[in-house]
Structure 1
Amino acid sequence: MRSVVMSRQAPLRLLDLAAQSLLSDEDSAMRALGELPVGLFPTLSAVAFEGGHTKTVTAMVQAWPFPCLHLGSLRDQSITQDLLEAVLDGLELVPTNTACPRRSKLKVLDFTHDFEHSNWEECSETSPAPFVITHVLEEPEADQLTPSFREQPRSDREPVDIYTDLFLGGLFGFFHLSGFPSYILQRVGKSHGCLRLHCRTLVINQVPFRSLIEILGMLELEAIREVRLHHRSRFCFQSDLIQFFTQLGQMSSLGKLIMSDIPWDFPADCFSLLSPLGHLQKLHLTFGCLSGQLHKMLSGLQKPLETLVINGCRITENDITYLSQSTHATRLKELVLCSNNLSQTVPGPLEVLLGEVSGTLEHLNLRSCRLKEAQLRALLPALCCCSRLRSLVFYDNVISTSGIMNVLQHLAGLKELKRVHYPVPAECIVYLDEYRWGNLNRVELARVHTRLQEMLQALQRADMELTNCTSMP
């Protein structure tokens, strides 16, 4: 066994030693790139990165024999700004090593953890975490630009696509972009089209819309697939909101949009600017200004949604009525209506909505919806028609033990239903109101849980997982 392990490891150690020896003289290493076997490029590049050989890194990028360079497995601390600047120099500038006849085939530079373009042949895996931008976009000082960056970028090759995920974070309304993220955005902006920045996932937390608009202008908007926007500031200009939503509407590949903590004066009419979106499937909304405005947000979307999360948005009976009559009710697989007062929608539009989604619905969340036992009982006929339902959440509603048992008995026939998150029964706790608990009788709760499980076993549904929320707020 030992000899087998050694025989497998020895070639790797020899290659590393050979690469280190070659890199001991960077000029020699750069001259050797023209004759270096293609298969040795990944090993030499890994050693060059680890040793901080910036000149060799630039030269290797200029002679890279593969269509893709995946930097997704390098540790954060291994990637200095000098090394990343060296990579970008290699992408943009005319090779200084004229003795090397090899021309770069590089088309994609990847800084993501799970690069999707696996169809690229012979992609190298030489990861940083996605660029984390935690600090308004600033111009670098003139003396910060390296001499090579002042040179004219090369124009005799196809543009190189840079793939990454961006996390934009501000603090107390301030947003300052510095370090390598600032550098790469500036390089993309000044590359005359040689570099194109593709961002799959864009996370925005507390970033002023004006700064965000500037950054979005540097991205290939059609490449963005997911946007998570968290914005608590009450100070924003409507013109900035309109411009941001115009840019959002240009994200033709956007499949998931999460918006939370949006200002109270947010104009719901901005959603009409999202009408060009043809791939949006998942929409998460968490802000209080939605009440009575759901039709403005959904009516312009081209295709039905598969996931709709409306969390704490103060939706009204009219909102539920609109949703039940919309095309979105024909395709929804996940529906989350938690932390909304739905007590006025039963009997009425909530039953109709559940009936409309019964053919596709897989996950339903009715947590903290102020539903009483009689209202939940009225929903059971519609719920029993949801043949594809896999999970049901209805905790933080005031329901008795007998009411919970009644729900489980009715839904036991749904063979796909595997997970039910039920409320703490009213007999086991003192409810101060719909959202606050008093003392919890854990002994009684354990007895109730055992009874529920025994009942499911008798119904031949021991495969159904029951959970309850017993942590005090």
Structure 2
Amino acid sequence: MSIRTPPTLEELSRRALLRNEALAISALRKLPKMHVPALFMEASNSRCTGIVKAMVVAWPFPYLPVGALMDTFDSAIFHAVLDGLDVLLTQVCPTRGELRVLDFRRVPCDFWTIQAGTEDGNCSAETVSEKQAGKPPPRHELSPRIKVRIDLNFRSQLEEEEMYFLQWAQQRKDSLQLCCENMKIVLQSLDNVRMFLSVFELAYIKVLELTINWSWCTLAQLFTYLLEMRNLHTLYLVHRHENMFGVCCLPRLDEKIVQKLASQFSGLSGLQHLYVHGFCFFSEHMKLLLRNLKTPLETFSVTHCQLFPSHLKDFALCPCLHQLKHLDLSGVLLCNVSLLPLSVLLEMGADSLETLELQGCKIKDSQFRELLPALSQCSQLTKVNFYSNDFSMNLLRDLFHHTANMSKMTMEQYPAPQECYDQNYISVHTFSQLCSQLVDTLRAIRQPRRISFATDVCDGCSQSCVYDQETRLCSCLR
């Protein structure tokens, strides 16, 4: 029989106070600051919208992490918070309220950080000192605009609350600082994307993920906005194809459009992570893009894209790719090209590279051997993914010997050796036997932590057979 801990006197007092809305609102003027965050959590969890609205108006700290204080998103509470902010915007002389930053992001935040009136740790932005927060501005100075911080995910079908917030924000963008640091836009029209971006101050955007089905010319019209994203450090460009097969084959562009597209990257001085998925790059596109990168990248991910042999040479010659931590070329067919330029790139980043993903590149033994000397120098690697390449037992054994000094490796994913196949059909017994032998081979060299082998994807069920200490078969072979 479990014994429930009885509520504390403070908890009972909060619950009693919330049962009388008028009394609770009038008590806010005299309530000690240390009790305010807990009362806000209780009020939001109990859906006391009138009290939540009043608490936003009377919030006694510069920072209100409403997303962190709410257990789950609630539409009524969301509207109440915005209504409270509207009241603040109409006040000429706020009585007690000290609010300067309203944060809707669901990030962890320490209770005592809230009381101190700062944003640090996982809630970092800028710090408002207690001295600044405790003194009202001189009468001749205008009060600073309240900053509203939110992360948004605009899917193909917008949620009702997203549309409401956009309309609300559009009408108040001259009175507020509207900051969206992480913005994800999925399959929206160019006009909609322009509308989204017009609401927010673009200099605050740090992460932009854009999934589109546009042409290059349409994309070029949007890229002009990149010049204003001075703090952008992560950019995802994902092309979604109508037939969902293969990579996009877009028509060759006018040279001026190519230059316009590529030139936008020159203004992204803080860009650290670049992800490009599903595009078709002609030689001049990639060369100009790389030439306009101004700072070293930590992540370079070009996946399920059509690349040409010259692109690998351009990668090797680009100084901004010589200190990579993460390189991902998954889904790029490399079965008919020399990998020597890629070997040069690995040598350049040997002291920094942490993850290398070449899944689905259909690389053959003779090609991959060109990479082995450079790969053996990459002592900082923690993860490799070589699934869906055409490797033999001999190649895999040689690869293991070249990874003897990779003591930081935590995850290794290798393709099933070609000897497991009989006219493109997997032999389950041979697969299990050979993978077990390969694990023993590697253990004689060093101790792997997580290692797995996978077959090519089954045409019938779109799954792979995986050997990871034990054999897990695809649906068709179970």
Structure 1 length as normaliser, TM-score? Answer: 0.80
Aligned match for 2:332, one of 320, 329, 340: 340
The answer to whether residue 99 in structure 2 is matched with residue 106 in structure 1 is: yes
Match of 2:16 in 1: 18
The verdict on how the C-alpha distance between 1:314 and 1:114 changes in structure 2, with shifts beyond 3 A counting, is same
Report the Cα distance in structure 2 between the residues aligned to 1:198 and 1:290, rounded to whole angstroms: 33
Whether contact under 8 Å (2:269, 2:294) holds in the other structure is yes
* Aligned ranges 1:139-154 → 2 under 5 Å: none
Aligned match for 1:87, one of 84, 89, 94: 84
Report the Cα distance in structure 2 between the residues aligned to 1:430 and 1:89, rounded to whole angstroms: 70
The answer to whether residue 438 in structure 2 is matched with residue 452 in structure 1 is: yes
Match of 2:298 in 1: 306
1:439 counterpart letter in structure 2: Y
2:84 counterpart letter in structure 1: V
Deviation string for 1:31-90 (max 9, x for gaps)? 332222222322333344345444433332222101111122331246455424423323
The verdict on how the C-alpha distance between 1:464 and 1:252 changes in structure 2, with shifts beyond 3 A counting, is same
Match of 2:187 in 1: 206
Whether contact under 8 Å (1:158, 1:194) holds in the other structure is no
The answer to whether residue 381 in structure 2 is matched with residue 381 in structure 1 is: no
Report the Cα distance in structure 2 between the residues aligned to 1:123 and 1:212, rounded to whole angstroms: 38
Structure 2 length as normaliser, TM-score? Answer: 0.79
Aligned match for 2:37, one of 26, 37, 42: 42
Q: Name stretches of at least 5 consecutive residues in structure 2 with no aligned partner.
A: 119-140, 241-247, 463-478
Deviation string for 1:138-175 (max 9, x for gaps)? xxxxxxxxxxxxxxxxx96321111111111225xxxx
Report the Cα distance in structure 2 between the residues aligned to 1:3 and 1:314, rounded to whole angstroms: 64
Deviation string for 1:216-266 (max 9, x for gaps)? 0111211111111111245x8x3x534421212311111111111167258
Aligned residues: 419
2:150 counterpart letter in structure 1: T
Whether contact under 8 Å (1:162, 1:197) holds in the other structure is yes
Whether contact under 8 Å (1:60, 1:90) holds in the other structure is no
2:263 counterpart letter in structure 1: S
Specify the SS of the correspondent of 1:113. Answer: coil
Whether contact under 8 Å (1:340, 1:368) holds in the other structure is yes
The answer to whether residue 233 in structure 2 is matched with residue 274 in structure 1 is: no
Deviation string for 1:286-334 (max 9, x for gaps)? 1232132212222212201111011121111211111101112321111
The verdict on how the C-alpha distance between 1:393 and 1:71 changes in structure 2, with shifts beyond 3 A counting, is same
Give me the CA root mean square deviation: 2.9
Match of 2:404 in 1: 412
Specify the SS of the correspondent of 1:103. Answer: coil
Whether contact under 8 Å (1:201, 1:226) holds in the other structure is yes
Match of 2:175 in 1: 194
Aligned match for 2:230, one of 240, 245, 252: 252
Report the Cα distance in structure 2 between the residues aligned to 1:10 and 1:169, rounded to whole angstroms: 44
2:319 counterpart letter in structure 1: T
Match of 2:199 in 1: 218
The verdict on how the C-alpha distance between 1:91 and 1:446 changes in structure 2, with shifts beyond 3 A counting, is farther
1:422 counterpart letter in structure 2: Y
Report the Cα distance in structure 2 between the residues aligned to 1:74 and 1:465, rounded to whole angstroms: 35
The answer to whether residue 150 in structure 2 is matched with residue 169 in structure 1 is: no
Specify the SS of the correspondent of 2:181. Answer: strand
Match of 1:366 in 2: 358
2:227 counterpart letter in structure 1: G
Whether contact under 8 Å (1:272, 1:300) holds in the other structure is yes
2:297 counterpart letter in structure 1: L
The answer to whether residue 448 in structure 2 is matched with residue 463 in structure 1 is: yes
Report the Cα distance in structure 1 between the residues aligned to 2:91 and 2:153, rounded to whole angstroms: 32
Aligned match for 1:351, one of 314, 326, 343: 343
Report the Cα distance in structure 2 between the residues aligned to 1:124 and 1:179, rounded to whole angstroms: 32
Whether contact under 8 Å (2:177, 2:201) holds in the other structure is yes
The answer to whether residue 390 in structure 2 is matched with residue 398 in structure 1 is: yes
Match of 1:71 in 2: 66
Whether contact under 8 Å (1:67, 1:120) holds in the other structure is no
Q: State the Cα distance separating 1:3 from its structure 2 match.
A: 9.7
1:62 counterpart letter in structure 2: V
Report the Cα distance in structure 1 between the residues aligned to 2:151 and 2:206, rounded to whole angstroms: 10
Report the Cα distance in structure 2 between the residues aligned to 1:85 and 1:162, rounded to whole angstroms: 10
Specify the SS of the correspondent of 1:104. Answer: coil
Specify the SS of the correspondent of 1:288. Answer: coil
Match of 2:128 in 1: none
Whether contact under 8 Å (1:55, 1:86) holds in the other structure is no
Q: Give % identity.
A: 27
Report the Cα distance in structure 2 between the residues aligned to 1:420 and 1:455, rounded to whole angstroms: 14
Deviates more, 1:42-51 or 1:101-110: 42-51
The verdict on how the C-alpha distance between 1:439 and 1:15 changes in structure 2, with shifts beyond 3 A counting, is farther
Whether contact under 8 Å (2:300, 2:326) holds in the other structure is yes
